[in-house]
Amino acid sequence: MSFNFRFGIASDLHIALEQTIFHHSKRFHLAEVSIPAFKEVIAHLKTLDLDFLLLPGDLTQDGEPENHQWLSDYLQTLPFPVYVIPGNHDIPTLSGENPGKNPAIPSHIFPEYYPHCGYNNTDQHYYTCELQPGVQLVALNSNIFDNDGKQLGRLDDKQLLWLETLLPKLENKLVLVMIHHNVIEHFPGQATYPLSRRYMLDNADSLKTLLHRYGINLMFTGHLHVQDIAKEGDLYEVTTGSLVSYPHPYRVIEIEGKSCNNWEVNIESHWVKTLPGWDDLLHFSREWMANRADPFIGRLLTNPPLNLSEQEASQLMPELKYLWADIAQGDAVFSFPNLPPKVREFFEQFSEEDKLKRDQISDNQTRFSLKN
């Protein structure tokens, strides 16, 4: 079976109507551009004759009903199908009570906002649908709650059983998996560092085992707010950065099927560079991120494996001010000659230079083949 189709991906939109935004000095997301940036993306995508659009979670700032309603209404006006899943911000609590933030929707009603975006069955937070003959979307929910009401990044047993029943039926199809949390590490130690493991799926190995068993090798994720393509064996995970933080990216992907088990994937990345009132959005948001980076960089320096004192950390922070912005951009190559050897070695491991040489995969513009 041969096919050729094109689709868009925009992630972590964090849609926020003005009246829902908290304007405090430490806010990391540039939430005030969420709606104009998304509209700018849509304006471009409308010119491309897209087959569909994927939105892999964190659709709203913090699950506010008015933000979900705005997005739901807007998506119904688009000329192509849109498929969504919830992120941790979309259903932050079971009940909708959200201490210190705006009230959110109760978790169980999320699918009711998006019946036109894949949720034909609004009784569950995951689904599958045929995108076109020979191409199937499997859209997963990686947000569950433990007995104490704590949110976890995990696939529950019921969903795993559903997958085990579903995947054998999709043999000889191209299957696209969409899930919010990362399944493959996007930098060394992501699954073990205290600051980054919360972006990983807790039971990623269980999912990877299932995907490998049935020859499924293409996933789309969000959550981490970086542009990165990771590869583990034959499995590719494409994570897309957030529209409300530097560098405001989105992707256009074209897949050509030469046979039932041979596909070519071409990925192009784009950026929202200007908006009304934001003539140089990229410069502004890069500085916005850098000026709010100290708490994050400080935790990296004072937590394992570096374990520096707060005084030592404060002296090194200026050198690392743009670290996360450069990681978020994708394809970062780092050199920190002015840092102490142990610290330099730790931060230079986030360089993408070895990955680019080894796998020939760019985080932003790349092409690769999928074969079963």
Q: What is the pLDDT of residues 18-44, one digit of tens each?
A: 999 988 878 889 999 999 999 999 999
Same domain flag for 130 and 12 = yes
Yes or no: say if 337 and 344 are a contact pair by the CB < 8 Å rule.
yes
Inside any domain, residue 23? yes
Q: Give the whole-angstrom CA distance, residue 314 versus residue 301.
A: 9
Q: Which two tokens stand for residue 210?
A: 């299932």
Same domain flag for 77 and 111 = yes
Same domain flag for 15 and 93 = yes
Same domain flag for 143 and 40 = yes
Beta-strand pair 262-271/249-259? antiparallel
Per DSSP, which regions of 179-298 are E strands? Answer: 218-221, 228-232, 235-239, 249-259, 262-271
Per-residue pLDDT, 23: 85
Same domain flag for 168 and 252 = yes
Residues 350-365: what's their mean pLDDT? Answer: 88
Inside any domain, residue 280? no
The torsion angles phi and psi of 148, rounded to 5 degrees, stand at -95, 5
Categorize the per-residue pLDDT at 357 as very low, low, confident or very high, splitting at 50, 70 and 90.
confident
45-91, pLDDT tens digit by residue? Answer: 999 999 999 999 999 999 999 999 999 999 999 999 999 999 999 99
1 pLDDT more than 70:
no
Q: Which two tokens stand for residue 32?
A: 């005030």
Tell me the CATH number at 243.
Answer: 3.60.21.10
Inside any domain, residue 177? yes
Q: Give the whole-angstrom CA distance, residue 183 versus residue 192.
A: 13
Same domain flag for 47 and 196 = yes
Same domain flag for 236 and 317 = no
Yes or no: say if 7 and 265 are a contact pair by the CB < 8 Å rule.
no
Residues 141-168: what's their mean pLDDT? Answer: 97
Q: In which domain, by residue range, is 309 found? A: 293-355
Same domain flag for 47 and 123 = yes
Same domain flag for 245 and 305 = no
Residues 131-156: what's their mean pLDDT? Answer: 96
- Closest-CA residue to 289 (of 225, 196, 222): 225
Categorize the per-residue pLDDT at 260 as very low, low, confident or very high, splitting at 50, 70 and 90.
low
Same domain flag for 173 and 72 = yes
Beta-strand pair 3-9/249-259? antiparallel
Inside any domain, residue 205? yes
Inside any domain, residue 366? no
Inside any domain, residue 17? yes
Same domain flag for 307 and 264 = no
Q: Which two tokens stand for residue 43?
A: 């304006």
Yes or no: say if 178 and 219 are a contact pair by the CB < 8 Å rule.
yes
Q: Give the whole-angstrom CA distance, residue 336 versus residue 345.
A: 9
Say how many domains are in the chain: 2
Answering whether pTM is above 0.95, one says yes
Same domain flag for 41 and 116 = yes
